[in-house]
Chains A and B, each alone.
Chain A
């Protein structure tokens, strides 16, 4: 009867945890939907009449021929068009030339500059002499510019910018690998609409953005960053034959080799020299071909640059500055107006006026006047008139766009818009009076400034936050964590279990369902337009009401409980509150986020040392000599030393920190220096890592053996005996083979290399599966007469004394490993997880996973001893103090940094996606999972092992019996270890539930703080650099935490039910 109630209750707790996860998850989604929302895409397209469709009649006063338009000559028509500037954007000039657009991914500007005086060039310097030669020999035919990209500098964002001319939106940065079709107005579609053929070859990102647009299409896979040659060879193969065809107007070739070389080796590597040399040859050959045809232009551009380590994604100068090289076989106009650096979006209007198509509606770029070839079929008009016409078309398009956008969204400042309107009118009046080149030049300067200010206007007001959604998200997450914390912390466990065995959970779920139904109804009555948000809002609101009711109902119990506990709180709790405040407050300061690794180290060490100093309680009656001798002989001194060891471990993991872009002075493993090529570790590092892993596996196994969990021949035990060692062997073999293969060039060996990590995944999965299926690491000795004194851990054996009656029975079965029944399974799971993390982190950072596990273990022991010290009866040990939860939370945050991560997109370790996979995926699920496991390994480990925080004091009773020497009141229970937990499993599940709630709310309050920080700083200079990525990382970490805590809870439930079955079986036997 009692057992039944227990089982029922633990499922109810689980349901509550799911509900809590749902609430927190939806609040985060509500907030991010409002916060990361940005530019609204306008669905309008630009259109224009081509010159042949224009009738050449009306308003041509000076014209002699008044017959209908069909009969006037091309020259006449051109002349008539060019006088009508006000219709510049609606009538297109004829195409001037065909264009070859070669995109060299990650072509940084300094790769293209040739320095004659540099006698000893680095691998990336002076490798493109063709550009220098062309600039020198044909200064009228070639140009070289700095090509400034708008951050984020990821390839897909850049391609969007290069074809639509619009500014990037933030949310796109996250969806880089889920390429989605572009449906706003763009260059490619404009070309198609005007019957120009487009041929494409190279990076298959284009194919995702523009499916079925190209006349001929040669895509190659782009995701495999280790593959330097496939794409480039493919492009070269198709490029030269294609140049001979004449059915296209735009040919796009996208080379990826340089970018991949940067990702794999960094710019300072011999491979870079080879790749740039190849590019040089390609450009050389293309120019040769172009010279043989008429009217063709070559644009060689980089979509972004790269940092000193070869990565990109942020907005540092190195990443943003790429190069643009232009060559034309016709002479180029030279107005000397374009400066030596141009914006990337400027390419779109330029290509449009070259090819004679309207500029895409959402373009914000400015025509690059000096890259337009001089018009030969000029009908007696001078060249500047053509240029002016195109430029004015550009101005009209941008201004129309801004007007349209302002009308639809109402975002821009009315006054500002008015001044722009005035400026536009003035220029519109002025343009007719231009008749000389001098006047034209003066006018263009005004125009360029005008366009620039329009773009800046957009940049400033672009991000339109949905404050309503944001506020709902903020409010919900705050209220949820507040109420749940009050419930979990304030209610004593007997009261808590009483509340949950009532119909509370059932009622809540029914009300949630009603709320969801109501919102669906409202959606169908068309009172709202977004179903998901409405559902979130309604269910969230209903949940808050339910939680508030629960709190109000039990308010008297909660206050009483808090009041009585308040008296027992000491100085260390005060410090903990300080630590929490600093931890949360740091999220509001950009410099604290940048240096958060240090801040968390500081706080973690503080909490650990304070916790261990708090142990030395009771015996400070000052009586001179006695105390002194006592101090030195204190068994508690051990724990101070232990705490110092923990601190040393934690401080030592600083070696694995990575640096952010902003940390200029950075030190550590990944030095930002031009002399280090990455992805290669020394032999010493490899050896140290392997030794670390070996020792780790050995020590955990030794622990389990000492606890008596390694006896017998059950499946679980055999697996736990041999699997970790096998995994370590596989991992180290994989690293060794990778080292060998990375020295040679061919990538083909990669496939054979994958079998080892695949084996690791498989073995880990088997290990985890077996551990969950049969989680009991216990061995029942069949017959007492065979009492095996030879088994070394015999003295650890714990008699299974469920009741006094059995104690007197002679035939009681002996069970090994009963005292550590719960912890053994969790430790084994922790070992498997740690080994998996080690594989994914790579041989350079893998020791940090081991350090993480060991630190967690030490902290568990220290805090348990602290709790045993304070406890006066065994029930109190079930109550996990907030300081232990806080340490566990900080631990998960700190080891995010400790395992070599930073909350920035540049620092995401994409290499993890290639371990055991070939790099080509049908969907994004597998690589995304691998990268998330790599990035959030600390969150996963701490979440799954959370039950250990509750269990460890009882484990300590068995493993370190000396701690309860001074605790006679505990000794009786203590000798039975974790059996105590089993006997009071109802209490255990309740405390576990409270612990899980506290842990989750601790994380949630941090997410709340980073949300609030992002809201407060939403117009801050660094919001997209620091606060928004921090928020995103915190949110993903939150989701990972929710998942892993739930999994940990389920595992505990599983162990408990299995243990019960075993005990029942034993009872039947005896």
Chain B
């Protein structure tokens, strides 16, 4: 799949949007005094993020004139199932990493859903649901980066930084400061969001640099 300069612009803008609305969501949570209720009580953050993803995808879709993807019912069902499977994987994974096994089910589930929304959902939308597992299974591979196209690379980096952020967030939990933000899953959720932010910022800069290069190149050609 070749990507036109036009598409790059849209993607770049989408990245910028993400970098803006993620802090905005955190700010809103803080404003409404729900900052430390994330994952503990209903905060509707997941719905906001899902809506934002769809909105971004809609912008992207509109700009693509010759997109070959078909939105058949089968595809949609498959995507939903894939997302469900990813949620399950994240849930089990969190427990394996030491999350409570029988208690605090809601918290763990919220964490799994949040991670899925930040990582798997965009892949299901932009690429195909089959890519989800391929990308997930190759997050540890670095050498083969040059073989894949920029869109996939963006998602791969997004997944990596997201998972790494939530992994790093767990550092706070064992400390004995007795602060509200140390409770599972709050630091991991914010860590994931921070990771997503960093990933998007990175991609934004990459695309920007790429765009500049392309412009220069086309000028040269001209």
A65 touches B (CB below 8 Å): no
Cβ-neighbour of A605 out of B96, B128, B152, B176 (below 8 A): B96
Instruction: State whether B134 touches A602 (Cβ < 8 A).
Output: no
* Given known contacts A605-B97, A651-B95, A651-B96, A620 and B138 CB-to-CB distance under 8 angstroms: yes
Any chain B CB within 8 A of the CB of A627?
Answer: yes
For residue A628, which residue of chain B has the nearest CB? Answer: B130
Q: Nearest chain A CB to B159's CB is how many angstroms away?
A: 12
Q: Provide the B173-197 mask, 1 if CB < 8 A to any CB of A, else 0.
A: 0111000000000000000000000
Judge whether A466 is part of the interface by a CB distance below 8 angstroms. Answer: no
Binds B, one of A189-197, A587-595, A827-835: A587-595
For the complex, give the distance between the alpha carbons of A644 and B170 in Å.
20
User: Complex: how many Å from CA A614 to CA B147?
Assistant: 17
Chain A residues touching B, majority SS: helix
Interface string of B107-139 (1 = CB under 8 A from A): 000000000000000000000101001100111
**Are B174 and A572 in touch, CB under 8 angstroms?**
no
A647 touches which of B96, B144, B170 (Cβ 8 Å): B96
Instruction: Report whether B141 and A620 are in contact in the complex, using a CB–CB cutoff of 8 Å.
Output: yes
| CB atoms of A571 and B142 under 8 A apart | yes
Residues of chain A lying within 8 A (CB to CB) of residue B97 = 601-602, 605-606
Q: Are B147 and A613 in contact (CB under 8 A)?
A: no
Min Cβ gap A606→B in Å is: 7
Q: State the Cβ distance, B143 to closest chain A Cβ, in Å.
A: 7
In the bound complex, what is the Cα–Cα distance between A594 and B177 (angstroms)? 13
Contacts of A650 in B (CB 8 A): 96
- Cβ–Cβ < 8 Å partners of B137 in chain A: 613, 616, 631, 640
- List, in ascending order, chain B residues with CB within 8 A of A605's CB: 96-98
Whether A617 is near chain B, meaning CB under 8 Å from some CB there, is yes
Query: Across the interface, do B133 and A592 meet the contact criterion of CB distance under 8 Å?
Result: no
Give CA–CA (A564, B175) in the complex, Å: 40
Distance from A440 Cβ to chain B, minimum over Cβ atoms (Å) = 47
Q: Does B167 contact A (CB under 8 A)?
A: yes
For chains A and B in complex, what number of residue pairs have CB atoms within 8 angstroms? 82
Given known A602-B170, A622-B152, A647-B96, contact A627–B134 (CB-CB < 8 A): yes
Question: Which positions 610-625 of chain A face chain B at CB distance < 8 Å?
Answer: 610, 613-614, 616-618, 620-622, 624-625
- CB-based contact B149/A622 at 8 Å: yes
A589 to B176, CA, bound (A): 9
A610 to B93: give the CA distance in the assembly, Å.
12
Instruction: Tell me whether B174 and A570 are in contact (CB under 8 A).
Output: no
Cβ of B148 and Cβ of A610 under 8 Å apart?
no
Give A310 Cβ to nearest chain B Cβ, in Å: 27
Contact: B134 with A628, CB < 8 Å?
Answer: yes
**Contacting pair A572 B140 (CB below 8 A):** yes
Q: Is A598 an interface residue (CB 8 A)?
A: yes
A955 to B152, CA, bound (A): 38
Report if A582 contacts B (CB, 8 A): yes
* Chain B residues within 8 Å of A575, by CB: 140
A546 at the interface (CB under 8 A from B): no
Q: Does A695 contact B (CB under 8 A)?
A: no
CB proximity of A216 to chain B, nearest CB, Å: 52
| Cβ-based interface call for B171 (8 A) | yes
B interface residues, tally (CB under 8 Å): 28
The chain B residue sitting closest to A586, CB to CB, is B174
Chain A residues lying within 8 Å of B130, measured Cβ to Cβ, are 624-625, 628
- Could you tell me the distance between the alpha carbons of A595 and B174 in the complex, rounded to whole angstroms? 6
Q: A591-B175, A602-B170, A647-B96 are in contact. Are A570 and B142 (CB under 8 A)?
A: yes
Contact between A598 and B174, CB atoms less than 8 A apart: yes
Residues of B within 8 A of A595 (CB): 174
A547-572 residues with Cβ-Cβ distance < 8 A to B are 570-572
> How many Å lie between the Cα of A620 and that of B97 in the bound state?
27
CB neighbours of A631 from chain B (8 A): 133-134, 137
Q: Which residues of B contact A644 (CB under 8 A)?
A: 96
Interface residue? A648 (CB, 8 A): yes
Q: With a CB–CB cut-off of 8 A, which chain A residues contact B171? A: 582
A1032 to B137, CA, bound (A): 42
B174 touches A617 (CB 8 A): no
Closest Cβ of chain B to A1068, distance in Å, is 50
Count of chain A residues with Cβ under 8 Å from any Cβ of B? Answer: 39
Q: Are A570 and B152 in contact (CB under 8 A)?
A: no
Closest residue of A by beta carbon distance from B171: A582
| Inter-subunit contact B147/A589 (CB<8 Å) | no
Q: Per-residue CB proximity of B82-96 to A under 8 Å, as 1/0?
A: 000000000001011
Give Cα A375–Cα B179 distance, bound, in whole angstroms.
Answer: 59
| CA–CA, A511 and B198, complex, Å | 56
Cα A610 to Cα B167 in complex, Å, equals 12
**CB within 8 A of B176: which of A591, A609, A627, A640?**
A591
Return the chain B residue nearest A569 by Cβ.
B142
**CB <8 Å contact, A591 and B174:** yes
Tell me how far the C-beta of B115 lies from the nearest C-beta in chain A, rounded to whole angstroms.
15
Please tell me if A599 contacts chain B, counting CB pairs below 8 Å.
yes
Contact partners of A572 in chain B: CB under 8 A:
140
Residues of chain A contacted by B128 (CB below 8 angstroms): 624
CA–CA, A358 and B39, complex, Å: 67
A570 in contact with B140 (CB, 8 Å): yes
B161 shortest CB reach to chain A, Å: 12
Complex Cα distance, B176 from A590, in Å, reads: 8
A599 to B140, CA, bound (A): 22
Q: Judge whether A614 and B134 touch: CB under 8 Å.
A: no
Q: How far is the CA of A532 from the CA of B58 in the complex (A)?
A: 77
A622 and B148 form a contact (CB under 8 A): yes
Distance between A189 CB and nearest chain B CB, rounded to angstroms: 45
Expressed in whole angstroms, the minimum distance between the Cβ of A571 and any Cβ of chain B is 4
Q: Tell me the complex Cα distance, A620–B137, Å.
A: 10
- A622 & B96 in contact (Cβ 8 Å cutoff): no
Most buried by B among A620, A640, A648: A620
| In contact, A599 and B138 (Cβ under 8 angstroms) | no
C-alpha spacing A571/B143, complex, angstroms: 9
Once A620-B134, A631-B134, A651-B95 are accepted as A-B contacts, the answer to whether A594 and B176 lie under 8 Å apart by CB is: yes
Contact of B174 among A592, A613, A614, A624 (CB under 8 A): A592
Q: Please judge, given known A-B contacts A620-B148, A627-B134, whether A651 and B141 are in contact too, CB under 8 Å.
A: no
A589 to B171, CA, bound (A): 12
Given contacts A570-B143, A582-B171, A616-B138, contact A601 B148 (CB under 8 A): no
Chain A residue numbers with a CB within 8 Å of B140 are 570-572, 575, 610, 613-614, 616
Bound together, the chains give a CA A591 to CA B93 distance in angstroms of 24
Q: Which residue on chain A has the smallest CB distance to residue B167? A: A606
In contact, A617 and B141 (Cβ under 8 angstroms)? yes
Once the chains are docked, how many angstroms separate the CA of A978 from the CA of B24? 60
Complex-state Cα separation, A572 to B175, whole angstroms:
26
Interface residues of B in 139-175 (CB under 8 A from A): 139-144, 147-149, 152, 167, 170-171, 174-175
Closest CB in chain A relative to B77 CB, distance in Å: 17
Residues in B with CB closer than 8 Å to A651 are 95-96, 98, 101
Which residue of chain B is the closest to A627 with respect to CB atoms?
B134
- A622 vs B152: C-alpha distance in the bound complex, in angstroms? 9
**Assembled-state Cα–Cα distance A654/B96 (Å):** 10
Residues on B with C-beta less than 8 A from A618 are 144
> How far, in whole Å, are A594 and B142 apart by their CA atoms in the complex?
36
Shortest distance between the CB of B191 and any CB in chain A (Å):
13
Contact status B98-A598, CB under 8 Å? yes
Shortest beta-carbon distance, B14 to chain A, in Å? 21
Across the interface, name the chain A residue whose C-beta is closest to B103.
Answer: A667
Chain B residue at minimal CB-CB distance from A1022: B176
Q: How distant is the Cα of A775 from the Cα of B127 in the complex, in angstroms?
A: 57
> What's the Cα separation between A622 and B146 when bound, in Å?
11
Interface string of A978-1016 (1 = CB under 8 A from B): 000000000000000000000000000000000000000
Of the A-B pairs whose beta carbons lie under 8 Å apart in the complex, a sample of 5, sorted by A's number, is A610-B140, A614-B141, A616-B141, A620-B144, A627-B134
Identify the 10 closest CB pairs spanning chains A and B, nearest first: A591-B176, A595-B174, A613-B140, A628-B130, A571-B142, A647-B96, A614-B140, A570-B142, A616-B137, A591-B175
Please name 17 further chain A to chain B contacts, defined as beta carbons within 8 Å, in addition to the given A620-B138, A622-B149, sorted by A numbering.
A570-B140, A570-B141, A571-B141, A592-B174, A595-B174, A598-B98, A602-B170, A613-B140, A616-B137, A616-B140, A620-B134, A620-B144, A622-B152, A628-B134, A647-B96, A651-B96, A651-B101
